[in-house]
Amino acid sequence: MLFKRSIGLAHLRRSAFLFGPRMTGKTVLLRSLPAELFIDLLDYELEFQLRQHPRLFWEQLCAVKSGGLVVVDEVQRVPALLGYVQKAIEERGLRFILSGSSSRKLKRGGANLLGGRALDLKLHPLTRLELAGRFHILEACRYGTIPKVWQCLADRDEEGARSVLRSYVTTYVKEEIQTEALTRNVGAFQRFLEIAIQSNAQVIEFSNISRECAVPASTVKEYYSILEDTLLGDFLWPWDRSERKKARPKFYFFDCGVVRAVQNRLHDPPTPMELGFLFESWFVRELRRLRDYGEKPHEFSFWRRGSHEVDLLVSGGHGPVLAFEFKAGKDPLVAGSFRAFRGDFPEVPLVVASLHDQVPRRLETGIEVLPWAQAIERYEAL
C-alpha cells in the first residue's frame, strides 16, 4: 500500500536533507522520485566500497547531466560523501536529496552540512490526512501511525502490527545506539528508555529518572539528547523562561505505538489514564507534522503557573496565538487553570480538544470544547 505523503519533494528546486525516524517511509518516498542516480547506503557492500573509496562517488556524479537529481539514502553512514555533494552543487548544478534517521553522527563528526545550500526537511509518521478515510483516532493512539504498522492494520493483521512495533525498539537500539556507538553503556541506556517512556507527555523530573536508572542526572540529560538527535522524540518547554530555568520540560516520543511497545502494552487496550497521555501525545505530534509540512512559523510550549497548567501554547512571531487543553475522558473540566491562564493571556483563544465530544460546545467562561478533528482544523487555519 502506497501512501500519498504531504511533504513535497518532487518539485524542490534546491537540495535538501530529509531526516526522519526509522520506518517512517523515507526510502519508499525517495524511490518514487525521478532521480538520475540513487545511492542506497543500506546496501552494506556499496557502503563499504564508498567508505573505502569515496572518490568513486564523485566519478559517478560526473556522469550525471548538469541540473540532474541525485538521491543518497542514509547519508550519515558515509559522511565523507558530503564534501563531493557540495562540490557537485557548486560546479555541476546538481540537486540532492540526502536522507537519514539521525543528524547526530554528522554533527558530532564535523561533517560538511553544506553551509545552508540544502533545506532541512523532516519526515514524520503518517498524518490523519495521509491515511485519509482509513484513519481512526483510537487505533492511532493504540498502535501509532508508522506506515508498515498501518499496512498491517489495513489488512486486519493486528499481530503483524504488534510484531513490527516490538521489533522497532530492538532495531533502534542495535542500529542507532550500538552501531553508531552513541553510548558505551547500552544496558544503562535500555533501562533509561524503559523508564523514560513511562513519562511520555508528562513533566520530567530528571533527578527521579536518574535515581531509577542508577546513573547521574547529567547522563540522563545526555540520553534524552540522544533520543532527540535520533528523532525518537522532542522536548516541550514551558513558555515562561523563568519556568524553563527549573528544567522541568515535557518529552513526547514520536509515535504512540512505539511507546506502547516499550511498555509491553500492545495486547491490552489503553486504560483511561493511559489513553489521556496517548491522545495528548498523538495530538501534539500531529501539530508538529502539520507545522513542518506546512512550513508554519510556530513554536510550541506549555503554560505553567504554580499548580496551574495548560497543555499546549502555539506562538508566532508576536507571541501566543492559540492554546489547547486535551481531554480524553468524560470527567468535568477543572476551571482553575483556565482562569489563571486568562489572567496572563486574556486575548488568546483557548480550545479544549476532546477525544469523545462529537459536536462543539462553548462553556460559560467562553472556552470552546471541540471534537479533536475540529480542534486540529482550528490550528490548520492559523
Local confidence band at 110 (pLDDT 50, 70, 90 cut-offs): very low
How far is residue 36's CA from residue 214's CA, in Å, rounded to a whole number?
51
- The pTM score is 0.93
CB-CB contact of 101 with 179 (8 Å): no
Average pLDDT in the 76-103 region? 90
Question: What pLDDT does 365 receive?
Answer: 79
Which residues, other chains included, contact 368 with Cβ-Cβ below 8 Å and sequence gap of 6+?
Answer: 349, 350, 351, 352, 360, 361, 362
pLDDT in tens, 194-234: 999 999 999 999 999 999 999 999 999 999 998 998 899 99
b/e burial code for range 62-91 (CB count within 10 A of at least 16 → b):
eebeeebbbbbbbbbbbbebbebbbebbee
For the chain, the helix, strand and coil percentages under 3-state DSSP, each to the nearest 5: 45, 20, 35
Say how many CA atoms lie within 13 Å of 122 toward its Cβ. 21
Domains and CATH numbers, the chain: 15-122 (3.40.50.300), 128-272 (1.10.10.10), 296-380 (3.40.1350)
Distance of CA 126 to the CA centre of its chain: 11
Are residues 139 and 162 in contact, defined by beta-carbon separation less than 8 angstroms?
A: no
The pLDDT of 281-305, averaged and rounded, is 96
Residues 6 or more apart whose Cβ sits within 8 Å of residue 250: 201, 202, 203, 204, 235, 236, 302
How does pLDDT run across 49-64, given as a tens digit for each residue? 999 999 999 999 999 9
